[in-house]
Copies of this chain bind each other. A is one copy, B any other.
Amino acid sequence: MATDGTRDGLAVDGDRLRRRFDAFNEIGATDRGGVNRPALSDANARARDRLVEWLREAGLDVRIDEMGNVFGRRAGSEDAAPVLLGSHVDSQYNGGRFDGVVGVLGALEVVETLDDEGIETRRPIEVVAWSNEEGVRFQPDMLGSGVYTGRFDLDYAHDRTDKSGRRFGDELDRIGYRGDGPCVADDLHCYLELHVEQGPYLAERDLSVGVVEGVYGFSWLNARFTGAADHAGPTPMDRRTDALVATAEVILATRRLTATGGDDLVGTVGSVDVSPNAINVIPETVEFTLDVRSYDNAAVDEAVDRIEREIEWAGEREGADWAVEEIMRVDASTFDDDCVATIEAAAETVGVDHVRMVSGAGHDANYLNEICPTGMIFVPSEGGVSHTEAEYTEWTDVVGGVDVLLHATLSKARE
Partner-contacting stretch, out of A115-123, A170-178, A274-282, A394-402: A274-282
> How far, in angstroms, from A362 to B228 measured CA to CA in the complex?
20
Are B268 and A280 in touch, CB under 8 angstroms? yes
The copy count of this chain in the complex is 2
> How far, in angstroms, from A9 to B139 measured CA to CA in the complex?
67
Are B278 and A92 in touch, CB under 8 angstroms? yes
- With A251-B245, A268-B242 as known contacts, state yes or no: A280 contacts B387, CB within 8 Å: yes
Partner-contacting stretch, out of A46-54, A71-79, A193-201: A193-201
- Whether A411 sits at the interface, judged by CB under 8 Å, is no
CB distance from A143 to the nearest CB of B (A): 14
- Whether A255 sits at the interface, judged by CB under 8 Å, is yes
Are B92 and A360 in touch, CB under 8 angstroms? no
- With A245-B251, A291-B279 as known contacts, state yes or no: A385 contacts B232, CB within 8 Å: no
- Whether A23 sits at the interface, judged by CB under 8 Å, is no
Are A360 and B234 in touch, CB under 8 angstroms? yes
Q: Which of B270, B277, B361 contacts A270 (CB 8 A)?
A: B277
Are A136 and B271 in touch, CB under 8 angstroms? no
Are B271 and A228 in touch, CB under 8 angstroms? no
Cβ of A272: which chain B residues have Cβ within 8 Å of it?
244, 272, 274, 277
Are B360 and A235 in touch, CB under 8 angstroms? yes
Q: Which of B94, B136, B218, B259 contacts A233 (CB 8 A)?
A: B218
> How far, in angstroms, from A280 to B264 measured CA to CA in the complex?
16
- Whether A284 sits at the interface, judged by CB under 8 Å, is yes
> How far, in angstroms, from A139 to B268 measured CA to CA in the complex?
32
The A231-249 residues at the B interface (CB cut-off 8 A) are 231-237, 239, 242, 244-245, 247-249
- Whether A384 sits at the interface, judged by CB under 8 Å, is yes
The A272-301 residues at the B interface (CB cut-off 8 A) are 272-274, 276-284, 289, 291, 293
The A111-159 residues at the B interface (CB cut-off 8 A) are 134-136, 139, 141
- Whether A93 sits at the interface, judged by CB under 8 Å, is yes
- Whether A409 sits at the interface, judged by CB under 8 Å, is no
9 contacts between A and B (CB under 8 A): A199-B233, A216-B233, A234-B361, A237-B265, A244-B272, A247-B248, A270-B278, A270-B280, A271-B277
Please provide the 8 A-B residue pairs with the shortest distance between their CB atoms, ordered closest to farther: A199-B234, A234-B360, A232-B268, A248-B251, A248-B248, A233-B360, A229-B388, A233-B361
